[in-house]
Amino acid sequence: MKLTIHRGTNQIGGCITEIESDGYKVFIDFGEQLLGTDAKELSPIDGLTCGDVSKSALFITHYHGDHIGKICDTVNDLPIYVGKTALEIFKHIENRLSYIPDPNEAERHKRIVERIKTINTFEALQKVTIGEITVMPLFVDHSAFDAYMFVIEADNKRILHTGDFRGHGFRSKGLIPTLKAYAKDIDYIISEGTNIQRANDKIKTENELQKDFESYLQKYKYNFVLVSSTNIDRIFALYHVSKKAKRCFVCDDYQAKTLKIVSENHKQYTSFYDIDYEQNTDPAGRFFDLIRKGEKPFYFHEKLKSYLDRYGFCMLIRSNDAFKPLLEEYSKLNDTKIYYSMWDGYLDREKPAFNETLYDFLKPYEIEHMHTSGHADLETLKVVFETVEPKGGIIPIHTGAPEKFEEFFNKQVNIISLRDGEVFDVK
């Protein structure tokens, strides 16, 4: 077995991992580089972007663009595998983006929509065999729903590729039991290290964040939350908090469809993903779709307006002009609160990923920052490594500071720092 990280040994996002055995190849993730990352020319990769793909397959850990965004650069016949619900969400996102005003970007997303039609799906613990290589997905908690680690086995060797994961989400309690049950006899871990430079930071749990939101929604009547449309668990938490606080939960039809995809696929497993669309009693806590007609701003019909003014609301918003009239109207009231529930780096002019559109959208308002990371903290990495106990060592990926692995974990386990494109013999 041979292992190559084509990109991602010293950067966050845009990672590409190849595992080869007897001519068969499994690739994990093929995404866009994040804004602010030094663009790296990617040489053609045999079995992925060129050459014969009859013995290859690409597995995607989750639907974030830095992990899946380059799928149209693959050879057309290459089989691609994604989680079932993740694929539905990704298709919904790309369908919407294929109608954006920028014709070049719209065309790119239309190509992705066409490529999606050929993608295969898997479910947790479902083994997929590519020649001599077996891939088993393990469900993990991340800020993208339906995210996975992979156990890859060939030549009597077993590798755990963590993808992006965390230990402080709503579903993170299953992380260690899952690893104990299914990640046994692991030779190497390819581990993300997004937060390893924030070793001393205390990362708030999603449960703690939910309680904070509950306190605010009890205090303020009109609540606007700017949150990523694909941060599914955060949004479902806001829905449940709204019901507790007896506020109407409001979002546009695009967001509503995203939530319905998850609810229809997963409400049978937990009530957390069960949304009551047809509640006919007290309208407080009710779920409303906010519909926009054509290019007009969002508006409330008379009956809905009376509900919202009487009971208050928690409304999901995005940084586009359609929401501005609503913010302008309600921001003048003392009972209004506006929350920013995304990474602070998008609003920091000193960060490479600074988003001027987002910054200008929020600039007129006083906002409350309410967010927590989608990635593992140092303590979670330590527990994972202690649980799995890889015999050969740990290979850092998806990190801007791979040397920190050596600093924090060299006494615990062997650290193998590779360079992009370096071939590693798995022995």
> Hey, which bits of 264-349 come out as E strands?
287-290, 313-317, 336-341
Convert the pLDDT of each residue in 22-79 to its tens digit. 999 999 999 999 877 777 778 999 999 999 999 999 999 999 999 999 999 999 999 9
User: Please, what is the angle between helix 103-116 and helix 84-97, to 10°?
Assistant: 150
- All residues at 6 or more sequence positions from 275 whose CB lies less than 8 Å from its CB, including other chains: 236, 239, 259, 260, 263, 267, 287
In this structure, the answer to whether residues 315 and 338 fall within a common structural domain is: yes
- Using alpha carbons, select from 357, 362, 354, 292 the residue that is nearest to residue 324: 362
Q: Taking the CB of residue 219, how many other CB atoms lie within 10 A of it?
A: 11
- On whether the CB atoms of residues 230 and 297 are closer than 8 A, the answer is no
- Using alpha carbons, select from 103, 101, 37, 102 the residue that is nearest to residue 65: 37
Q: Which residue in this structure is represented by tokens 């703690």? A: 208
In this structure, the answer to whether residues 184 and 105 fall within a common structural domain is: yes
In this structure, the answer to whether residues 224 and 182 fall within a common structural domain is: no
Encoded tokens for 187: 């030779």
In this structure, the answer to whether residues 402 and 324 fall within a common structural domain is: no
In this structure, the answer to whether residues 165 and 264 fall within a common structural domain is: no
Instruction: Report the pLDDT value the prediction gives residue 295, as an integer from 0 to 100.
Output: 42
In this structure, the answer to whether residues 344 and 365 fall within a common structural domain is: yes
User: Please, what is the angle between helix 175-182 and helix 378-388, to 10°?
Assistant: 20
- All residues at 6 or more sequence positions from 48 whose CB lies less than 8 Å from its CB, including other chains: 16, 18, 25, 27, 30, 56, 58, 74, 75, 78
Across all residues in the chain, what is the average pLDDT? Answer: 91
The domain tally of the chain equals 2
User: What's the per-residue H, E or C state across 397-416?
Assistant: ECCCCCHHHHHHHCCCCCEC
User: Please, what is the angle between helix 84-97 and helix 253-266, to 10°?
Assistant: 170
Convert the pLDDT of each residue in 353-369 to its tens digit. 899 999 999 999 999 99
pLDDT tens for the 427 residues of the chain, in order: 999 999 999 999 999 999 999 999 999 999 999 877 777 778 999 999 999 999 999 999 999 999 999 999 999 999 999 999 999 999 999 999 998 888 999 999 999 999 999 999 999 999 999 999 999 999 999 999 999 999 999 999 999 999 999 999 999 999 999 999 999 999 999 999 999 998 788 899 999 999 999 999 999 999 999 999 999 999 999 999 998 998 888 888 888 889 999 999 999 999 999 987 654 344 455 555 554 444 444 445 556 777 788 889 999 998 988 889 889 999 999 999 999 999 999 999 998 889 999 999 999 999 999 999 999 999 999 999 999 999 999 999 999 999 999 999 988 899 999 999 999 999 8
In this structure, the answer to whether residues 40 and 107 fall within a common structural domain is: yes
The CA dihedral of 131, 70, 68, 290, to the nearest 10 degrees, is -140
Q: Taking the CB of residue 134, how many other CB atoms lie within 10 A of it?
A: 16
Instruction: Report the pLDDT value the prediction gives residue 287, as an integer from 0 to 100.
Output: 54
In this structure, the answer to whether residues 215 and 335 fall within a common structural domain is: yes
In this structure, the answer to whether residues 326 and 311 fall within a common structural domain is: yes
Encoded tokens for 239: 């829905």
Q: What CATH number is attached to the domain comprising 322?
A: 3.40.50.10710
Domain boundary pick from 369, 398, 413: 369
Sign of the C-alpha dihedral computed for residues 386, 389, 393 and 399 taken in this order: negative
The three-state secondary structure class of 359 is helix
Q: What CATH number is attached to the domain comprising 146?
A: 3.60.15.10
The three-state secondary structure class of 245 is helix
Q: Where in the sequence is the domain holding 413, given as residue range(s)?
A: 2-198+374-425
The three-state secondary structure class of 129 is strand
The pTM is what?
A: 0.93
Encoded tokens for 398: 């998806």
In this structure, the answer to whether residues 274 and 351 fall within a common structural domain is: yes
- Using alpha carbons, select from 51, 45, 42, 52 the residue that is nearest to residue 18: 45
